[in-house]
């Protein structure tokens, strides 16, 4: 006899506006407790010192997390000139100082070099694994860490504010794996200055934006007042760029049993027109609810992940 899972079978996404100094893991824990959910996870770690969009998946939505981890992101951050740190943010130990204060014009002139497919060396204080260990754990132990350069994609970068000579605010849209702290490190070096991240906010992850975000305090208040459903987004929210196919009840039942579905030619052509590149993933829907994530091959839909939504 299968052991009954603890908690409620609640499924969906929370677009959390993570507060300052809270870890992503702690944020997931508080959301899970607020909903008494059986299962929870997040799409893309956000540093404790950063605020902003942290998508949290509950229940069946956790099956769609990989699709959101790869989503494009947007950030707004401030650079404080005059001091470089070992962690590349304001909490780190000072490694160098400088009286150089780049002007807005100089920053704007330097930014185009950081747009496009660029080579970037991740910060040593990052979650990347080196020989099976987290880089930040090795760095904290004083062990020399050699981080390998890799290509990341930055779609845009612009100066959005400059409140004083010591600070400049920049907005960036980028692909997965891009480190804002590394951009700041390299930008400061290009300008012959010292600088670190003094504030960082993630403003978008895929389709999750500040417009549909909720603070932790408001979410916990909603749950306390039995209004938790108002903050819950559909499971398919993370699959915005994946084509959907509406199913009959008979076809949906077939996929739920793990059996492939043979498509008619017009369905194949319609889906191919909406798939990009080598993508083959299709979301199967019945009456507006997720049934399965499928792979389309040779005119058939093969279920990869089946959802159990009530």
pLDDT value at residue 214: 97
Q: Tell me how far the alpha carbon of residue 134 is from its chain's centroid.
A: 19
Distance of alpha carbon 228 from alpha carbon 248, whole angstroms: 31
Burial (CB count within 10 angstroms: exposed 0-12, middle 13-18, buried 19+), residue 5: exposed
| Selected catalytic residue, list 17, 47, 89, 186 | 47
Contact of 271 with 243, CB cutoff 8 Å: yes
Strand 244-246 and strand 289-297: pairing? unpaired
Please name which of 25, 4, 7, 5 lies closest in space to residue 16, comparing C-alpha atoms.
Answer: 25
Q: Is 47 a catalytic residue?
A: yes
Domains of the chain: 12-70+207-237 (3.30.2350.10), 73-205 (3.30.2350.10), 242-306 (2.30.130.10)
- Provide the angle, in degrees to the nearest 10, between the axes of the packed helices 24-35 and 216-224: 10
* SS3 label, residue 257: coil
pLDDT value at residue 1: 46
Those residues of the chain that have pLDDT short of 50 are 1
Cβ neighbours of residue 109 closer than 8 Å, sequence gap 6 or more:
none
According to DSSP, the residues that pair with 195 across neighbouring strands are 81
pLDDT value at residue 61: 95
Contact of 71 with 175, CB cutoff 8 Å: no
Contact of 197 with 109, CB cutoff 8 Å: no
Cβ neighbours of residue 141 closer than 8 Å, sequence gap 6 or more:
none
Please name which of 236, 301, 245 lies closest in space to residue 274, comparing C-alpha atoms.
Answer: 245
């Amino acid at each position: 006899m299968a052991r009954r899972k603890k908690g409620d079978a609640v499924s969906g996404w929370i677009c959390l506006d993570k507060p300052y100094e809270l870890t992503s893991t702690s944020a997931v824990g508080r959301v899970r407790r607020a909903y008494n959910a059986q299962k929870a996870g997040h799409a893309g770690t956000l540093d404790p010192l950063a605020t902003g969009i942290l998508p949290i998946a509950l229940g069946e939505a956790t099956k769609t997390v990989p699709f959101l981890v790869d989503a494009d992101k947007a950030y707004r951050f401030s650079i404080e000139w005059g001091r470089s740190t070992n962690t590349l943010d304001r909490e780190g130990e000072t490694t160098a100082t400088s009286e150089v204060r780049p002007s807005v014009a100089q920053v704007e002139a330097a930014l185009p070099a950081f747009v496009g497919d660029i080579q970037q060396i991740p910060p040593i204080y990052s979650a990347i694994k080196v020989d099976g260990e987290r880089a930040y754990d090795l760095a904290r132990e004083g062990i020399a860490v050699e981080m390998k350069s890799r290509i990341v994609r930055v779609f845009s970068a612009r100066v959005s504010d400059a409140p004083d000579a010591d600070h400049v605010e920049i907005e960036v849209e980028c692909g997965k794996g891009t480190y804002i702290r590394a951009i700041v490190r390299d930008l400061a070096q290009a300008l012959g200055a010292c600088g670190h991240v003094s504030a960082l906010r993630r403003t978008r992850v895929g389709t999750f934006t500040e417009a549909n975000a909720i603070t932790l305090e408001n979410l916990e208040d909603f749950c306390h007042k039995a209004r938790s459903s108002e903050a819950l987004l559909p499971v398919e929210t993370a699959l915005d760029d994946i084509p959907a196919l509406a199913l009959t009840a008979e076809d949906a039942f077939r996929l739920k049993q793990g059996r492939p579905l043979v498509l008619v030619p017009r369905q194949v052509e319609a889906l191919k027109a909406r798939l990009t590149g080598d993508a083959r993933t299709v979301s199967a829907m019945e009456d507006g609810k997720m049934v399965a994530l499928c792979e389309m091959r040779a005119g058939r839909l093969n279920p990869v992940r089946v959802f159990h939504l009530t």
